[in-house]
Amino acid sequence: MTGPLSSRHAVYAGSFDPFTLGHQDIAQRAAALFDRVTVGIGINPEKHPLFTPEERLVMAREVLAPLKNVDVRCFEGLAVDFIRGCGARVLVRGVRTLSDIETEFTMTLANRALDPEIDTIFLMASERLTHISSSLIRQIALMGRQSAASKLEDFVPSAVVPQLLARCRPPAAG
């Protein structure tokens, strides 16, 4: 996309593996602040995600379908390049803890050096969701197989639970 970048269009980028209630909360709040929000599912070849980019895309689209000003896309490469390609000027990041803030501060400085026209805003996680992380959810689903089904809805949208349980199902005894 060429032309001026829009400050009314924001990108919420992440790996979203899996998409959590915390991610949903940040996306909803960003959608209330901006005319348009693009959720960018980053593809990092160095990571070993639980779900493929296409699976994450389908889950995020299903969860965010009620938000008419939100679209979901996958991207490879630098977030700032994706944001610019979307015609946006704002990167939204959710933060839960002080360690998140430290990590995000470093990333923001790098992004600013790469593209000074793109600004980052931080949305604090809602208090009831600060303990949720994708890695915690993967651990619960993998280790708590029997009790996980009823508990996972405390961490992920209900549309994500079946895919998460199916992916974390133990191998059949042979």
pLDDT band at 167 (very low <50, low <70, confident <90, very high): confident
Residues near 138 by beta carbon (within 8 Å), at least 6 away in sequence: 17, 18, 50, 168
- Residue 100 lies in domain: 6-130
Domain membership of residue 174 (yes or no) is no
Q: What is the pLDDT of residues 154-165, one digit of tens each?
A: 889 999 988 888
Look-up: residue for tokens 């630098």?
78
- Give the CATH number, domain containing residue 31: 3.40.50.620
Percent of the chain with pLDDT over 70: 91
pTM: 0.88
Q: What is the pLDDT of residues 92-147, one digit of tens each?
A: 999 988 888 898 999 999 999 999 999 999 999 888 888 888 888 888 887 765 56
Rg of the Cα trace of the chain?
Answer: 16
Determine the Cα–Cα distance for residues 27 and 70; give it in Å rounded to an integer.
Answer: 8
Count of domains forming the chain: 1
Which are the catalytic amino acids? Answer: 23, 47, 96, 134
